[in-house]
Amino acid sequence: MPTHQPFPPADRDRFHSLNFRVDDLDADEQISAAFFRLVSVHEDMLVSLAEHHSADGARSFYVLYDGSATWDHPGVPQYVALHLQRDLERRTFSFERATLPLPSMAQSWLIRRGCPPEFLTLDPEWGTAPADEATQALEQRLMRDGDHYALGWSHTQDDPDDWLTLAVLRALDERAPSPFRVVVEDVDIEAGTHTLREGGFDSVEEALQWCDDRLGGVSKALPPVRPVPSLSRPAPAPKPASSRPSGRSR
């Protein structure tokens, strides 16, 4: 069962049909085959968590939950970011797609491709809610600053007794403090909430070892992310007061 279960099994009829608006458009054989293999074949298991369509109909952006991912290889991401581009004069289309472990990462991917962030708010009727302000703040930062990091590895564990997503990120700026980050999402199914936390590591080996330990049932505290060093110069030390001769001044 998926980590962000958007619907209970008895409510599968709540799926609303997706309309990718490409049925009347053509594409070359490779694009058509790729779209069918990567998107259309799973269409009955896709749920739109957020979508935006440009006013002229030329572009569409989707954050999708893929219910079929739970039957794939263990650990695969369960969210899809989809960017469709249509040439309405030529009646053709093209697309970009990425599978990502967290909705905030899918939002970031689409924002980098031109989607206005204000139109990518996740549907609150699906999935779980942030458990606290720290979770909300980190989700916003991942959505806003996701292009500062590259996703190196992820694992989605949809065990009902331990619903967990791990993602290892690498800072693109080699000078960044804590260049490797581990983002951990824990889901409380009964409460309908999730928490998101981040830890900082100096090497990818340390980051992956922490993840291995967590998947093995060993819970260790995440090391804090080192703060960004201040670039401002330290304030000069105050000069000692000049001595004055005793007596009245002239």
> What are all long-range contacts of 213-220, with beta carbons under 8 Å and residues at least 24 apart?
214/164, 214/166, 214/184, 215/155, 215/157, 215/164, 215/166
- Return all residues near 247 (Cβ < 8 A) that are at least 6 apart: none
- Return all residues near 109 (Cβ < 8 A) that are at least 6 apart: 81, 98, 100, 146
Q: Identify any residues that bridge with 100 across adjacent strands, giving them in sequence order.
A: 79
pLDDT at 242: 40
Quick: pLDDT tens for 171-221.
999 888 899 999 999 999 899 999 999 999 999 999 999 999 999 989 889
> Token pair of 128, please?
């779980």
Q: 48: closest CA among 36, 66, 32?
A: 66
The mean pLDDT of 17-31, rounded to a whole number, is 84
Q: 186: closest CA among 208, 214, 149, 210?
A: 214
d(C-alpha 164, C-alpha 86), whole Å: 37
- Whole-structure pTM value: 0.84
Percent of residues, the chain, with pLDDT higher than 70: 84
d(C-alpha 167, C-alpha 154), whole Å: 4
- Could you tell me whether strands 129-130 and 92-100 are parallel, antiparallel, or unpaired per DSSP bridges? unpaired
Whether pLDDT at 246 is above 80: no
The mean pLDDT of 33-52, rounded to a whole number, is 92
Three state DSSP letters for 89-157: CCCEEEEEEEEECCHHHHHHHHHCCCCCHHHCCCCCCCCCEECCHHHHHHHHHHHHHHHHEEEEEEEEE
Whether pLDDT at 26 is above 60: yes
pLDDT at 110: 97
Quick: pLDDT tens for 59-92.
999 999 999 998 888 899 999 999 999 998 989 9
Q: 75: closest CA among 164, 161, 135, 8?
A: 164
Is residue 80 classed exposed, middle or buried when 0-12, 13-18 and 19+ CB atoms within 10 A define those classes?
buried
